[in-house]
Structure 1
Amino acid sequence: MATRDVFSEDEMARLRSFPEIGRVELIRHFTLTDADEAFLGKFQSSC
């Protein structure tokens, strides 16, 4: 069964596009936490 047989044209259009995302969501999901920075700090080279 092909994907086009499962989803309507509107659903396919939504699946193929990027969702609307606001400033709050951008900050929440793409800001590094202290734990993220500590983890990444292990991989920094001292050039």
Structure 2
Amino acid sequence: MFQIFRNYKEILEISYFYRMQIIPQGSMNICMLSKAIGEIMITKRGED
């Protein structure tokens, strides 16, 4: 569980800095969150 949380936090940070440069402020949060959740699902499935 802690590993997943740590991955989630890292993904959010990476996504934030990456998307800050290419996506307008308004839609950034939604894109960032959905991408992060999608990557967590994939990571989780890979670990199982």
* TM-score computed with the length of structure 2 as normaliser: 0.32
Higher helix share: 2
Q: Which has the higher contact order (CA 8 A, sep 6+)?
A: 2
Larger Cα-atom Rg: 1
Q: TM (normalized to structure 1)?
A: 0.32
